[in-house]
Structure 1
Amino acid sequence: MRPAPPRLTAGTLTLRPWAPRDAAALAELYRDEALRRWASAPVHDEASAARWVAEQRRGWETGERLAFAVEETPSPPGADVRPAGHVVLKRSGAVAAEVGYWTAAHARGRGVAPRAVTALADWAFTTFAHEGLARLDLLHQTDNTASCRVAEKCGFALCGLLPAAPPAFPLDGHRHTRRAPSAG
């Protein structure tokens, strides 16, 4: 049984499924060179952003890719809200899944990624415990030191090195793992 796409909260963050209305903001966020370097999504303009959002929605339908837009509570209240990031749970089996994320340039340095990844991991372990989910992996290239810090802050221990797998993973990488609270 696939879960209905929920809205999660983590302090001042809300994690919600991506929506078609996000395409223009997503295209704008992808103008950031650092985001394009670390995120492999083919987003180049509003049309490609709309296709990407549609793929995220299909992921919820299949239950294989559960993606969330991350938003911060606007300040001042009533101000426009644009995504501050993205987190995703990639499910390929019952026992293990992979976590992915990115943070928008305007939200970096404020703890958005650790709070969002922790909220996603906690939700995943609770939601899929009955299916036997025992492990989450977070993968990143070895030169992405910021992702190493996020993984550590979220309780993902460095468990090994991964060989490069171009084109999606052009350099060697790290595998960080977080175990379900009952998995020890």
Structure 2
Amino acid sequence: MNVTLQVDATPSASALFLRPWDDGDVEPLVEAYRDPTLRRWTRLPVESIEDAAEWLEMQRRGWETGERLSFAVYEDHSGTGKGRLVGNVVMKRTGPSQESAEVGYWTAAHARGRGVAPRALEALTSWAFDVFMVEGLERLNLLHQMDNLASCRVAEKAGYGFHQVLPARPPFPRDGHLHIRRADTPA
């Protein structure tokens, strides 16, 4: 599936360009993962070119199987989609049910606090419902650790209502929040 998504610029934010990850993203990925805050909230470390290549291969396999549809998010100042890497959004469809999927995201340190995550998540959410509702997708779940207050704000800004507290379980060491967005819920 060759998919690109665009988010228009606003008076206070650059346009965003979302596309599946590719080999040209190795160095920007390693750079983004130098951030200790990003490493704190993600499970797979990317500390070297080799780690990045492995991570990118996992993203490619995810697109091939349809189980992990991950997008590199770039700022697009010129309209070419060739700006600076600002984040990642992903939809994971790993269970037998086609009714629900899980979404996730991260934002590069230099892009935090500028509305990148909620805007990219909204683009992914709209795309997911547009494409997969015909297969039965009704709900997207967003999970984060309770102490990740920034993720809670992103979820709410993107229309994912708080649903419940989830007890800690591996690989998550702390209790978490489950936020849900239904297909018929506006942002």
- TM-score normalised to structure 1 length: 0.92
Partners in 2 of 1:72 and 1:39 — Cα distance? 22
Deviation at 1:107, TM superposition (A): 0.6
Alignment match of 2:130 (pick from 112, 126, 130)? 126
**Structure 1 residue ranges without an equivalent (≥5):** none
Contact between 1:114 and 1:153, CA under 8 Å: does it hold in 2?
yes
Query: What's 1:24 paired with?
Result: 27
Cα displacement (A) at 1:74? 3.3
Over 3 Å off, 4+ runs:
none
- Greater shift, 23-32 or 98-107, is seen at 23-32
Matched, 1:115 2:119: yes
The answer to whether residue 155 in structure 2 is matched with residue 151 in structure 1 is: yes
Amino acid paired to 2:134: H
Count residues with an aligned counterpart: 177
CA drift at 1:24: 1.3
The one-character-per-residue Cα deviations of 1:11-65 (angstroms, maximum 9, x if unpaired) are: 1001100001111111111110000001112211111011101110110000000
Q: 2:177 aligns with which of 170, 174, 184?
A: 174
Q: Percent identity?
A: 58
Paired residues of 1:43 and 1:52 also in contact (CA < 8 A): yes
Q: Within 1, Cα distance between the matches of 2:84 and 2:116?
A: 13
Using the alignment, how far apart are the partners of 2:22 and 2:61 within structure 1?
11
| Structure 1 letter corresponding to 2:184 | P
1:82 positional shift: 2.8
SS at 2:113 equivalent:
coil
Task: Summarize the alignment of residues 1-184 of structure 1 with structure 2, pairs less than 5 Å apart.
Answer: 4-11=1-8, 12-74=15-77, 81-92=83-94, 93-166=97-170, 168-181=171-184
Aligned-residue CA RMSD (Å):
1.7
